[in-house]
Amino acid sequence: MSPVRVTFVRTVDRLRFQFSTAFATGVFLAVSAVLFAFGLERAEGGRLTLPAIWAAAVSPVLPALAAFLAMDVWSDERQTGRIDMLLTAAVRERDYVLGKFLGSWALLMGAVALFLVTSLVLLWRLAPAALANATLGDFVSAALILALQGALWCAVSVAASAAFFHAAAAAVASIMVTVVLPRGLWAAMTAWSDVGRTAFGEMPLDAHAVDFASGLVSSGVLVSYLVLTAAFLFLSGKAVACYRMVGRGARSLRASTAFVAFLTVVFVAMAMLLAFRLDVKLDMPMAGSSTAFSPRTRNVLAEVGGDLGVTCFMRRSDPRFRPTGRFLRQLTQEAASTGASRVSVRFVDPLWDLGMAERLVRRGVEEGSLVFERGRRLAVLSLRDGCSERACASTIRRLMTPPTRRNVYWTTGHGESSFDVYGAFGMSDIARNLAQEGYRNKPIDLSADKPVPADCALVVVSGARHDFSRAELGRLEAYLHSGGRLLVLLSVPLEGLSSVLASWGVRLGDAPRKAGKTLTGTDVVVSDFAEHEISAPLKGDRIVLENPLSFSPSAAAESGAGADRITFTPVASSGGVALAAAAERGAGAGSDLAVRPTRIVAVGDASFAMNGPLAARANANRDFFLNCIAFLSGTDASGSSGTGEGVLTSKMDRVARRRHLLWSAAIVPSAAALLLVMLAMVRRRRS
Amino acid sequence: MFEIRNIAFSYGRSQVLRDVSFMVSPGEAVSVVGANGAGKTTLLRILATLAVPDSGTVMSDGQDALARPLRYRRQIGYMPERIALYDDMTVKEFLVYRALLKGEPAKRVRRRTSEAAEICRVTDCLRTPIRRLSAGIVKRVALADALLLRPRVLLLDDFLAGLDSGMRTIAGEILSSAAAFSSVIVTGHEVADFARWTTRILVLKDGVISAEVDTAGHDATVLCERVGAALEGGGR
C-alpha cells in the first residue's frame, strides 16, 4: 500500500466520523439549497440550464466547506506533536500532502454528490417539469467544474493548514485566499480599472461554473485550475518540509525553499498566461442548453465578415446581466468558430463607467440595451424581454443590410387589439419585436375610400370583433389579388372575413370540442407542428391558444392549377384539428412568372400574441407570431428562441417553491447531518 | 555501526550542541543524560532528521545518514518526548496504520504488529481505543510503533519519564529486548535505571559529551555518583 493511499484512507476515515464534518455538511447542503431554490426562481422562463443554476448555487459555498474539512489536516498534527511521528517515517512530504488533499477532496465531492442527488430527487418529486429537459449526463460538466474548483480550494486549505499552527487560523487564511482575495480583487477591479470592468461580464469564478455547466468548456480555465492546484500542493509539501528546517544549519535550505516557491509562482503565472493564450473552447452539446445557435444566427455571423463590436449597457446588479453576459460569451465563441467574423464584447455599467455611459446616452441608447457596432454603423437592441438569440441575429442583420423598412399595416375600426396599447390586451410587446426585426408598424383604416398602400408588406387583422363592411372586404380582396399578404387572428367568427378566407382556401370552423392538452381548461396546448416555414422551427416547442377556433381547407384549396393553385397547410394542430393555417396561391410559380404569391395565415385565437399571454414566457407564442410575419413578408427570419428545450420551466407555484425550500434547505440537510452524527456515534461506541 | 561525528547545533545565536561525537554498536543500548536544556532532545531530533545540524555527520553503516534522509529513516525508530497518538483509533488500528505507512507490505503487517505488541506487552489492549489508555501504556504503544519494522537504530527521547517503578522495570526489559536487534539511544534523567538497562551512559554538558561511563561490572550507586559528579563538573 502506497503512503498516499494509506494517508488518504486515514484522512477520509478521520473526517468521515467527526461531528464537525456532519455539521459542516449539513450547513453546506442548506446554504446550497437556498441558493439553488432562489436561483431556480430567478431563472424561471430564462435560458439558464438546470445544471448551470445548480453549479452556480454550489460554487460559492465550496470554498467554505473545503476550508472547514481541510483546516486541521496538518495544523492538528503540528499542534499535537504527531507531525514528529509522521516526519520520521520513510515517507516523502508530498505523499502525505497528496494523501491528505485527496482525502479532504473526496469528502468535499461526496458532499457535492449528496447535494446533487437530493436536488434531483426533490425536483423529481416536487417539480418534475424542471427536469424535463435535463439528463444526468448534463450534470457531468457541472460536476467537472465543481471538482476542479473543489480541488483548488482543498489544495489552498491544505497549504493553509500546513502553514498555520491553529486550525481556525488555517481556515481563516484559506477563506481569505479562496473567497476574500479573488472577490476583493474583482470588486477593486470593477471599481478602479476601466479596462477590467469593460472586459469581464461577471466574476470569473462564477462565470466558470455557469459556463462549464452549460457545456461551454474552456481549456484555458481547465489548465489554470489544474496548475494552481498542483502549485498549492507543491507549496504545501514545502511548508511541511520547513518544519524540519530549524537551527542555523537550515538557513541555506530555507533560502532555497523560498527561491523554489518564487519560481513556482513565476511558473504558475507563465503557465496560466500560456493556457489562456492558447485557449481552446469547446461547446459540448447538452439537452436543454441554449449554447447551440440556430442556422440563421450562424449564417448571420458568417455574413458579418469582419469585426463586430457589442456593448452591453447595463448595471451589473441587473438580474439580466449574468444571462446576457453568458449569451455574449457564446456569441463570441460562435463567431470565432465560423472564422468569418470576430465579436468583441465590452460591458458598460452606467454606475461606474460614467464617461462611456454618457456617450451611449447621447447616441440615444437607453440603459439595459445591447449596442452592436460595425464600422460606423450602430444598431441598438433593447433587452426589456431578456436577450434572445433571434433578436440579436435580427439586429446584426439590420446592421449589415441597407436600412429598408417594411411596413406592417394593422387594421382598425373593428375592435382590434392595437399595436400601440401597452396593457395586457394590447400588442405593444410584439410590435416592438417587429420594430427590432426591421418592420414599421402602421394603422390602416380600410373604411376610408383608399386602397391598401403599395408599400404594405402585409396586413394584420388582430382580433376584430365586428365584421368588415362590403367595401372594406373588397379592398382587402383587391390587395390579396395583387399578391398581398394577410395575417388574421380571430377569436370570434365573422361572416364577411370568413368568406374572404374561404375564397383563399381557408374555411373557418367552430371551437373544437376536443382539442388535446390544456392547462386551464379553456386553453389548448399546441405542440403538433407541420413541416412549414412557420412551424418547422418550433418542433419540440409549444404554443398556447385560448379557446381557439379551428380551420379546414375550403373548396378553393387545391382547386386551381399553376399560378392559381392554392395550397392549404394546417401549420399548428391539436388533436388532429388545425388551429392555425397557412394558404398560399402561386407558390413555386411566382419566380418564373414574376408574380408575387398571395399568402394568408389565419390563427384561431386573437389573444395569443397580446402582451398578457406573452408575459408568460413558457410558450413559443412570440416565435410563432414572428414566424408568421416572416413567412408573410418573405424574409428568412423564421426561427425559434425555443421554449420546450431551452427555457427553464419548473411550473412551481408559491406553495410548491416553499415546500421545495423547506425540504431542500431544512429537512434534508438536518437529516443528512443527523445521519452522519449517528454514524460517528456508532463508530465511537464500537471503538 | 552508528556513528555521530562533531555534531554542532544552534538556535539563532544560542549554541546548544558544540561538538558531540560518539558511536553505538549494533546490539548496544546507550543512554544520554544531562541537565534540563543540555540538548538531549535536540540531539535526538537531529538524529531523527527533525532538525538540521550546523555541522557534523551521522554515519549509519558507513553511509552519511543525513545526505540520504529517506533511506536513513527506513533504518530508524523514533519515540518523541511528547507522545501524541490518534485518540480515535484502537491500538491495533494505530499499529497497522503505522506499519502500512512505513511501507510494510500488507501481508506482513499482522505479523509485525503482533511482534511489536508482544515485545512492548500491549497485546492485551490491542482492541482498546487509545484515548482510554494510561500514560504508561500509551508510551509502550508509542515504543511498539518505533519498533514496528525492527529498526537498526532506536531513538527514545525521555523514555522513562513519568513512569512508576513497576512500569519502569517493564520499560527497561522492553528496552533490553529491543537492543537485541537495534542500536538503542535513550535520553533521560533516570541514571539508576539506565545503569541497569544500558551498556553506556553518556553525560551531555555544555554542548559536548563531557563524560562516558561504562555500566558493565559497576554497582548502580557508584555509577550514579560518577554520573552525578560528571554533571556537576567532573571529568571522565
CATH code, B26: 3.40.50.300
Interface probe with B: pick from A7, A88, A253, most Cβ of B within 10 Å: A88
Radius of gyration for the alpha carbons in chain A, expressed in angstroms and rounded: 31
Q: Which residues of A touch B82 (CB under 8 A)?
A: 81, 84
Query: Which stretch of A12-26, A227-241, A251-265, A304-318 has the lowest confidence by average pLDDT?
Result: A304-318
Q: Which of A248, A251, A252, A686 best probes binding to B when mutated, by most B CB atoms within 10 angstroms?
A: A248
Residue A285 binned pLDDT confidence (cut-offs 50, 70, 90): low
Q: Do B73 and A88 touch (CB under 8 A)?
A: yes
pLDDT band at B156 (very low <50, low <70, confident <90, very high): very high
Min Cα–Cα distance to chain A from B199, Å: 26
pLDDT digits (tens, 9 = 90+) for B54-88: 999 998 888 888 788 888 998 899 999 888 899 88
Q: What does the pLDDT look like over A519-548, one tens digit per residue?
A: 667 788 888 888 887 887 777 778 888 888
Domain count, chain B: 1
Q: Which of B220, B56, B221, B44 is nearest to B146 (CA)?
A: B44
Closest Cα partner for A347 from A331, A328, A366, A334? A328
What pLDDT was estimated at residue A657? 84
A195 and B CB contact within 8 Å: no
Residues of chain A contacting residue B106, judged by C-beta atoms under 8 Å apart:
1
* One domain, residues A266 and A304: no
pLDDT at A646 over 60: no
Predicted confidence at residue B69, as pLDDT, reads: 87
Residue B117 lies in a domain: no
Q: In this structure, are A595 and A674 located in the same domain?
A: no
CB proximity A80 to B under 8 Å: yes
User: How many percent of chain A have pLDDT more than 90?
Assistant: 30
Q: What pLDDT, on the 0 to 100 scale, is given for residue A607?
A: 86
Say whether residue B216 is in contact with chain A using an 8 A CB cutoff.
no
Per-residue confidence at B106, pLDDT binned at 50, 70, 90?
Answer: confident
pLDDT at res. A515: 58
Q: How far is A254 from chain B (nearest CA, A)?
A: 11
pLDDT at A639 over 60: no
Residue entry with cell 433571434: A390
- Whether chain A has a CB inside 8 Å of the CB on B86: the answer is yes
Asked if residue A438 belongs to a domain, the reply is yes
Q: What is the mean pLDDT of residues A286-294?
A: 57
Residue B113 included in any domain:
no
Inter-chain contact B78–A17, Cβ cutoff 8 Å?
no
| Cα gap B54→A201, rounded to integer Å | 56
Mean pLDDT of A485-502: 89
A408: Cβ contacts below 8 Å, ≥ 6 apart: A434, A439, A440, A441, A442, A456, A457, A458, A459, A460, A629, A633
Q: Are residues A210 and A106 part of one domain? A: yes
pLDDT at B26: 87
pLDDT in the model for residue A563: 66
Which of A337, A362, A389 represents a domain boundary (last residue)?
A: A389
Q: With an 8 Å Cβ cutoff, are B80 and A247 in contact? A: no
How would residue A299 be classed by pLDDT, with cut points 50, 70 and 90? confident
Q: Which pLDDT value is given to residue A318? A: 79
Instruction: For residues B156 and B179, give the distance between their C-alpha atoms in angstroms, rounded to a whole number.
Output: 12
B179: pLDDT confidence band, cut at 50, 70 and 90? confident
What is the pLDDT confidence band of residue A442, given thresholds at 50, 70 and 90? very high
Can you give the pLDDT at residue A589? 47
* Range of the structural domain that residue B51 is part of: 1-75+153-159+183-236
Give a yes or no: residue B102 inside a domain: no
Ranges A379-388, A504-513, B4-13, most confident: B4-13
Decide if A91 and B71 are in contact by the 8 Å CB cutoff. Answer: no
CB contact under 8 A, B103 and A10: no
Nearest-by-CA chain B residue for A81: B84
How many domains, chain A? 3
Nearest 10 degrees: Cα torsion A632, A633, A639, A643: -60
Distance of residue B98 Cα from the nearest chain A Cα, in angstroms: 9
Count H helices and E strands in chain B, helices first.
Answer: 8, 10
CB contact under 8 A, B54 and A247: yes
Q: How confident is the model at residue A642 (pLDDT cuts 50, 70, 90)?
A: very low
| pLDDT of amino acid A591 | 44
Does residue B95 have a pLDDT over 90?
A: yes
Q: Does A199 touch chain B (CB under 8 A)?
A: no
Task: Write out pLDDT tens, residues A328-354.
Answer: 887 887 787 777 778 888 888 888 888
SS3 A47: coil
- For residues A350 and A456, membership in a common domain is answered with no
Query: Tell me, what DSSP letter sits at residue A468?
Result: P
The span from the first CA to the last CA of chain B, in angstroms, equals: 23
What distance in Å separates the CA atoms of residue B122 and residue A92, rounded to the nearest whole number? 30
Q: Is A85 on the interface with B (CB under 8 A)?
A: yes
Longest dimension (CA), chain A: 109
CB-based contact (8 Å) between B167 and chain A?
no
Q: Residue B171's pLDDT is what?
A: 84
The one-letter amino acid code at A319 reads P
The three cell numbers of residue B128 are 482498546
Question: Would residue B167 count as lying in a domain?
Answer: no
Question: CA torsion angle for A605, A609, A613, A619 (degrees, to 10)?
Answer: 90
Of residues A505 and A516, more confidently modeled: A505
CA distances from A655 to A120, A652, A658, B91 (A): 19, 8, 5, 55
Pair (A222, A249) in one structural domain: yes
Sign of the torsion formed by the C-alpha atoms of A348, A351, A352 and A358:
positive
Q: Both A682 and A581 in a single domain?
A: no
* pLDDT in the model for residue A528: 85
Closest CA to A385 of A617, A38, A648: A617
Residue contact A244–B70, C-beta within 8 A: no
Per-residue pLDDT, B91: 93
pLDDT tier, A650 (very low <50, low <70, confident <90, very high otherwise): low
Confirm if B86 and B130 have CB atoms less than 8 A apart.
yes
Per-residue pLDDT for A35 more than 90?
A: yes
CATH number at residue A383: 3.40.30.10
Task: List chain A residues with CB under 8 Å of B101.
Answer: 3, 6-7, 86, 89, 91
Instruction: Identify the residue among B52, B79, B94 best suited for mutation to test binding to A, counting A beta carbons within 10 A and taking the highest.
Output: B52
Q: Provide the β-strand partners of residue B204.
A: B209
Residue A476 has pLDDT above 50, yes or no: yes
Give the CA angle between residues A368, A372, A373 to the nearest 5°: 135
Cell triple for A62: 465550496
> Which residues does chain B have within 8 Å of residue A84's beta carbon, measured at their own beta carbons?
45, 48, 50, 78, 80, 82
Are residues A484 and A544 both part of a single domain? yes
Give the three-class secondary structure for A274.
Answer: helix
Q: Please give, one letter per residue, the 3-state secondary structure of A5-18.
A: HHHHHHHHHHHHCC
Q: Between A87, A249, A684, which is nearest B52 by CB?
A: A249
C-alpha cell at B11: 538556535
Which of A109-113, A362-366, A501-505, A571-575 shows the highest mean pLDDT?
A109-113
Asked if A620 and A658 sit in the same domain, the reply is no
Q: Which of A244, A249, A253 has its CB closest to that of B49?
A: A244
Give A579-592 pLDDT, tens digit per residue.
899 998 876 544 44
Exposed/middle/buried for A531, CB within 10 Å: 0-12, 13-18, 19+? exposed
Given this model, what pLDDT does residue A592 score?
Answer: 46
- Is residue A682 in some structural domain? yes
Residue pLDDT, tens place only, B135-154? 889 989 999 999 998 899 99
Q: What value does the mean pLDDT of chain A take? A: 84
Both A415 and A281 in a single domain?
no
User: Within this chain, do residues A299 and A201 fall inside the same structural domain, yes or no?
Assistant: no
Candidate from A110-114, A215-219, A602-606, B113-117 with smallest mean pLDDT: A215-219
pLDDT of residue A386: 66
Could A244 and B145 be called an inter-chain contact, meaning their C-beta atoms sit closer than 8 Å?
no
For residue A588, the model assigns a pLDDT of 54
Chain B, 63 to 82: residues with Cβ < 8 Å from chain A are: 70-71, 73-74, 76, 78, 80, 82
Q: Does pLDDT of B121 surpass 80?
A: yes
Distance of alpha carbon A317 from alpha carbon B197, whole angstroms: 77
Q: A423, exposed or middle or buried, with CB in 10 Å at 0-12, 13-18, 19+? A: exposed
Count of other CB atoms within 10 angstroms of residue A615:
11
Find out whether A548 and A569 touch, Cβ atoms under 8 Å: no
Give B68→chain A minimum CA distance, Å. 11
Q: Which residues contact A381 (CB under 8 A, 6 or more apart)?
A: A369, A370, A371, A372, A391, A392, A395, A436
Q: Print the domain residue range for A342.
A: 295-389
Nearest CB to A82: which of B48, B50, B84? B84
Over 70: is that where the pLDDT of A552 sits? yes
**Chain B nearest CA to A669, separation (Å):** 26
Shortest alpha-carbon distance between residue A75 and chain B (Å): 14
**CA–CA dist B45, A10 (Å, integer):** 26
User: Which residue of B101, B104, B112, B133 is the best one to mutate when testing the A interface, meaning the one whose CB has the most A CBs within 10 A?
Assistant: B101
Does residue B236 carry a pLDDT above 50? Answer: no
Q: What is the mean pLDDT of residues A425-441?
A: 84
For cell 511528547, name the residue. B82
Residues in chain B within 8 Å Cβ distance of A21 = none
In this structure, is residue B105 part of a structural domain?
no
Question: Are both A447 and A338 inside the same structural domain?
Answer: no
Q: Give the gap in angstroms from C-alpha B75 to the nearest C-alpha of chain A.
A: 9
The dihedral through the CA atoms of A621, A622, A627, A630 has a sign that is positive
How would residue A618 be classed by pLDDT, with cut points 50, 70 and 90? low
Of A1, A81, A85, the CB nearest to B106: A1
A687 lies within 8 A of chain B by CB: yes
Percent of chain A with pLDDT over 70: 89
Q: Which chain B residues are Cβ-neighbours of A249 within 8 angstroms? A: 9, 52-55
